[in-house]
Amino acid sequence: MKLSQASNIVYKAINFALDQKDARNAEYVVPYLVGGAGLGKTTAVHDLAKKISADRDVECHVQELRLTERSPEEIAGWLIPNDDKSRMVHIAPDWMRKMTPNSYGILFLDELPQAVTMCQNVSAQICNERAVGSWKIPDGWAIVAAGNRMSDRAGTNNMPSQLKDRLMFLNIEADLEDTLAYANLTGWSEQVKAFLRFRPNRLHEFKADQDSCPSPRTWERVNSILKWELDPVDQIEAIAGSVGQAATAEFVGFLKVYDVIPDVDQLIANPSSAVIPDAPDVQYAVCAAISAKMNGKNAKNIVTYLKRLPEQELAAFVIKDAMSRSEDLKKELKRDDAVREWIMSIGKHLIL
């Protein structure tokens, strides 16, 4: 499923957990986001905490417990002698001491399948009993887990059956629309977005024998690299170190397209007579540049140009990407007569 679908399910599970008071352990659902590296699972959990904070007007904390960095004792808490050494005392783990009563938050068990079996066994108790030893997770806290698949060869281990039984498995796959919606909200360059539209197969390619592979996370790093103003040779090496040689070769070739695209401002000013490029890669580059400039004032002219494109799927990507830049712009464009007419006539099956 798409990450956005999984996030909707996790959002419901978290809210349900936060509303429980002295509920039976079996009533809680522990979502487990499982998928390849670099899909945004961790980011999604932190984004959900922000959304819940806004929705409930409270501070929803994220207590991240990266299980690969912890020993079983650090997760479960230490047993130490009391002052007169007459008996052993169970000391609450440091991560649990931060989860105070009357607070709200998400206990995020990250890299769950990469943890050693003993740590997974402790995690099973946390997921099923909402406790470690005698220490209980307070009401107002939800548990969410995440990890990679065995097929990703990310150092994963077989999970014990009692842990699997406690989880709701949500299998995540890379999705272009999800990635581009995130890219628009966080200000990725139009070059990266246009390339992924043009070559969607390069969004996520896992190859166990390569050090660097394309993924939504590594393309975000490429977006950062483009801002460094490296000389061309160093830029190619830096990009290849993030997404691999093959994807870099295609991306660098695509960047050269931006040297030959028409003047976008002139195109928007004269939409009926502006040139329609013949080459598909140039069309994608032009559409990305148009989408980055689209607003309520120029929407009519842009829609006039878009109607002239041979492939109306390109028009759909321009409008969808523009709308995903912000909620205010989305509302503004939806009120525009030209945009509404295009959606209702040509784009009703293209914009979902």
Per-residue pLDDT tens over the stretch 195-220: 998 888 899 988 777 788 899 999 99
Task: Give the DSSP H or E segment for 131.
Answer: strand 131-132
| Ramachandran quadrant class, 87 (left: phi over 0; alpha: psi -120 to 50; beta: rest) | beta
**pLDDT at position 92 over 80:** no
Task: Give the DSSP H or E segment for 141.
Answer: strand 141-147
What are the structure tokens assigned to 291, written together? 């989408």
Q: Spell out the residues 6+ positions from residue 33 whose beta carbon is closer than 8 angstroms to its own.
A: 6, 10, 41, 44, 45, 144, 145, 146, 147, 170, 172
Residues 307 and 346: their CA atoms lie apart, in Å, by: 9
pLDDT tens by residue, 225-234: 999 999 999 9
Query: Model confidence at 275, in pLDDT bands (50, 70, 90)?
Result: confident
Residues 10 and 16: their CA atoms lie apart, in Å, by: 10
Residues 142 and 227: their CA atoms lie apart, in Å, by: 38
- Domains of the chain, by residue range, sit at 3-172, 176-349
Query: Model confidence at 88, in pLDDT bands (50, 70, 90)?
Result: low
Radius of gyration of the chain (CA): 25
| Contact (CB, 8 A) for 17 and 127 | no
- From 105, 106, 109, select the one nearest 145 (Cα to Cα): 109
Over residues 283-304, mean pLDDT: 91
CA 259-265-268 angle, to 5 degrees, is: 120
Helices first, then strands: H and E counts in the chain: 17, 9
Residue the block writes with tokens 């905490």: 49
Alpha-carbon separation of residue 339 from 200, 227, 291, 324, 345 (angstroms): 26, 33, 13, 15, 10
Alpha-carbon separation of residue 18 from 30, 41, 56, 127, 165 (angstroms): 12, 21, 11, 15, 22
Of the listed ranges 10-24, 44-58, 90-104, the least confidently predicted one is 90-104
Residue % of the chain over a pLDDT of 90: 44
pTM recorded for the entire structure: 0.78
CA of residue 112 relative to chain centroid, distance: 18
- Comparison of pLDDT for 347 and 246, the residue scoring more: 246
The reported pLDDT for the residue numbered 297 is 92
Is the CATH number 3.40.50.300 carried by domain 3-172? Answer: yes
What are the structure tokens assigned to 177, written together? 């629309």
Which residues face 110 on adjacent strands?
66
